[in-house]
Copies of this chain bind each other. A is one copy, B any other.
Amino acid sequence: MEELVGLREGSSGDPVTLQELWGPCPRIRRGIRDGLEWLKQKLFRVGEDWYFLMTLGVLMALISYAMNFAIGRVIRAHKWLYREIGDSHLLRYLSWTVYPVALVSFSSGFSQSITPFSGGSGIPELKTILSGVVLEDYLDIKNFGAKVVGLSCTLAAGSTIFLGKVGPFVHLSVMIAAYLGCVRTKTIGEPGNKSKQNEMLVAGAAVGVATVFAAPFSGVLFSIEVMSSHFSVWDYWRGFFAATCGAFTFRLLSVFNSEEETITCLFKTSFPVDIPYDLPEIFFFVALGAICGVLSCAYLFCQRTFLGFTKTNWFFSKLLATSKPLYSALAALVLASITYPPGVGRFIASRLSMGEHLDSLFDNNSWALMTRNSSPPWPKEPDPQNLWLEWYHPRFTIFGTLAFFLVMKFWMLILATTIPIPAGYFMPIFVFGAATGRLLGEALSVAFPEGIVAGGVTNPIVPGAYALAGAAAFSGAVTHTISTALLAFELTGQIVHALPVLMAVLAANAIAQSCQPSFYDGTIIVKKLPYLPWIRGRKIGSHRVTVEHFMNRTITTLAKDTPLEEVVKVVTSTDMADYPLVESTESQILVGIVARAQLVQALQAESPSWAPGHQRCLQDILAGGCPTAPVTLQLSPETSLHQAHHLFELLNLQLLFVTSRGRAVGSVSWAEMKKAISNLTNPPAPK
């Protein structure tokens, strides 16, 4: 009976094969099979992209962890060497300096020999790529090796060189994302699509940040703020998914390797939860933000100036052009000599790694109060339980070392950023900000040793909280982002200081954004990469300026009836990438776009068959197979600057043609936009 029902059901739907009838319960088996099929389809439908995003996250986490692991071993070897080499100062000095010098010059030489643009953080270039510019080979998987090896060497040089990992890691992640995008296109077989590829790159950037800090939230937000001016919620969700996979795998690996007992944050703090800070302290937090803002302006200005100086000064530019490893070695030697622990390094806590710097700066207790009546000795080795002892000097006191640290690191960091090696500049800035905050926090804890009294209750001041706020505010101001506040919380696992830290970051950003371009924008300007400046919201004038006022009116159009000789002349005399194709020389009605490259190819293929007597025109070549692209979007002369800027930014465009009543009358590209925007700020002098 059961089987009969199965048969009948089968006959109404798909035919039941005889084979199916032989086994027991054909109906149930069919049901299960259909269910599995449905689940498979469902998963695969959701899949497509998700699988690639997951792969991206897991892969980057593996690379990040493996890199950390290898670097840790190298640093441990260096420490061992320094410890065991004996008490001779010369030997100790040599063992301290030769190591980073060798690593940095190798890093510089190796990476530069493979690709000339592997130096620096890579984020400015990525920003340019994500805004639609094609930088040839920059995301090629070939550069991957150069960047990985170079970055590992840089990081293995440790806190001597004082450089970080985020920037190049974002670059690596985007490279992998671009590669996975290609793989996806090939496996699925759909045509390569620019917006699809961009989606993958954006997710890659988020994964890069998230796998370095194990912080998915701030990974996504930081990459958004740094990379783009607009964002789609769809990309944001994809970013979250990939970043979570990456951060989870990254922390999972350290559990598997028995470094941690379970998945936790990187820099655990134990700030008091019930009353983390008193109301009047808010004022000091905001003041700290303002200080960090001013400091960041000074830093950005000096950094950009010095970077420009190394490019224009004949000595530096010659050295950098001909022998990069030599320059790197020299700079590394200077940095390593200063950080030599028995020398100046004693006063800048140079025996600590950058992670230990942060760990110690986020400490709850007030060092100034602890060392008021006692004077703990300088340990032979940094004591993992009392890392803060490195910051203490009996005569200099805590304040002296912290201030000296800030002064020295200020120019050392600027020097380090000019070394042509793959390196990130976020982490050093974060540590610098933490030290600034700590200095203020310690000062406050001395000024109010009993804590600030409010509402009858006294609570001791926690200098670590100021370090946290300082780190977030300074790094936020330098990079022009707000999500560094969130990063600080994700790194420490506590969010009790949400409001004061956020206010400090906002104050710092208000100052920095109104005075200086961000670190990454500054690099874009110095490196002369193409960029589209943005219109500040208050520039209401941008609504009144229309395309008519600033478009490029001298465009070269190709009409279908243009004689071939004329076409050849145009192609050889101009260097536009695309030519607007118009109906006829007379009407100038825009009908399409011809790419220069394809036109040249078609012209070359055609040229032998030119009969001298017969007057051939462009129409013949087009009919002969030269492809034209349709005009999918066109501006009108009445479009406002604001609207045009919006379009360029949102759709990652670089050139649009302007038509009036169908006639091609001009074109607008980044160059014209830039000029129009700068005219908004500085109106042209009346003639």
Q: How far is the CB of A647 from chain B (nearest CB, A)?
A: 8
When chains A and B are docked, how far (Å) is the Cα of A3 from the Cα of B368?
48
Report the nearest B residue to A582, measured CB to CB. Answer: B661
Report the nearest B residue to A495, measured CB to CB. Answer: B495
Contacts of A46 on B, CB cut-off 8 Å? 510, 514
Contacts of A540 on B, CB cut-off 8 Å? 190, 193, 196
List, sorted by A's number, 12 A–B pairs whose CB atoms are closer than 8 Å.
Answer: A241-B506, A255-B279, A263-B500, A265-B498, A273-B494, A489-B495, A493-B498, A583-B661, A630-B637, A633-B643, A647-B651, A650-B650
A389 at interface (Cβ–Cβ under 8 A)? no
Q: Are A45 and B538 in contact (CB under 8 A)?
A: yes
> Could you tell me how many residues of chain A have their Cβ less than 8 Å away from some Cβ of chain B?
101
Report the nearest B residue to A588, measured CB to CB. Answer: B662
Given A255-B279, A537-B199, A662-B662; A543-B193 close (CB under 8 Å)? yes
Given A46-B510, A233-B230, A646-B650; A273-B268 close (CB under 8 Å)? yes
A551 at interface (Cβ–Cβ under 8 A)? no
Q: Are B248 and A277 in contact (CB under 8 A)?
A: no
Residue from B276, B493, B502 within 8 A of A264 (CB atoms): B276
Contacts of A663 on B, CB cut-off 8 Å? 662
When chains A and B are docked, how far (Å) is the Cα of A46 from the Cα of B507?
12
Contact flags A300-322 to B (C-beta < 8 A → 1, else 0)? 00000000000000000000000
Taking A240-B506, A630-B638, A634-B636 as given, write out 4 further A-B residue pairs in contact, using a Cβ cutoff of 8 Å, ordered by the A residue number.
A234-B534, A262-B455, A493-B496, A662-B662
Residue from B45, B503, B651 within 8 A of A244 (CB atoms): B503
Q: Are A631 and B638 in contact (CB under 8 A)?
A: yes
Q: How far is the CB of A599 from chain B (nearest CB, A)?
A: 19
A205 at interface (Cβ–Cβ under 8 A)? no
* Interface residues in A196-249 (C-beta closer than 8 Å to B): 196, 199, 215-217, 224-225, 228-234, 236-238, 240-241, 244, 247-248
A521 at interface (Cβ–Cβ under 8 A)? no
When chains A and B are docked, how far (Å) is the Cα of A278 from the Cα of B255?
10
Contacts of A494 on B, CB cut-off 8 Å? 273, 493-495
A642 at interface (Cβ–Cβ under 8 A)? yes
Q: Are B633 and A486 in contact (CB under 8 A)?
A: no
Report the nearest B residue to A227, measured CB to CB. Answer: B233
* Interface residues in A8-62 (C-beta closer than 8 Å to B): 42, 45-46, 48-49
A640 at interface (Cβ–Cβ under 8 A)? yes
Contacts of A496 on B, CB cut-off 8 Å? 264-265, 493
Report the nearest B residue to A646, measured CB to CB. Answer: B651
Contact flags A243-278 to B (C-beta < 8 A → 1, else 0)? 010011001100100100111110010100111111
When chains A and B are docked, how far (Å) is the Cα of A215 from the Cα of B485?
13
Contacts of A263 on B, CB cut-off 8 Å? 277, 279, 282, 499-500
When chains A and B are docked, how far (Å) is the Cα of A252 from the Cα of B48?
49
Report the nearest B residue to A454, measured CB to CB. Answer: B262
Q: Are A640 and B632 in contact (CB under 8 A)?
A: yes
Contacts of A534 on B, CB cut-off 8 Å? 234
Contacts of A252 on B, CB cut-off 8 Å? 279
Given A514-B46, A589-B661; A279-B262 close (CB under 8 Å)? yes
Report the nearest B residue to A278, measured CB to CB. Answer: B262
Given A231-B230, A643-B633; A275-B248 close (CB under 8 Å)? no
When chains A and B are docked, how far (Å) is the Cα of A502 from the Cα of B240?
9
A490 at interface (Cβ–Cβ under 8 A)? yes
Report the nearest B residue to A632, measured CB to CB. Answer: B639
Q: Are A486 and B217 in contact (CB under 8 A)?
A: yes
Q: Are B632 and A643 in contact (CB under 8 A)?
A: yes
Q: Are B279 and A274 in contact (CB under 8 A)?
A: no
When chains A and B are docked, how far (Å) is the Cα of A576 from the Cα of B651?
29
Residue from B262, B457, B633, B634 within 8 A of A261 (CB atoms): B457
Q: Are B216 and A498 in contact (CB under 8 A)?
A: yes
Contacts of A642 on B, CB cut-off 8 Å? 195
A590 at interface (Cβ–Cβ under 8 A)? yes
Q: Are A499 and B251 in contact (CB under 8 A)?
A: yes
Given A195-B642, A506-B241, A537-B49; A276-B262 close (CB under 8 Å)? yes
A654 at interface (Cβ–Cβ under 8 A)? no
When chains A and B are docked, how far (Å) is the Cα of A282 from the Cα of B262?
10
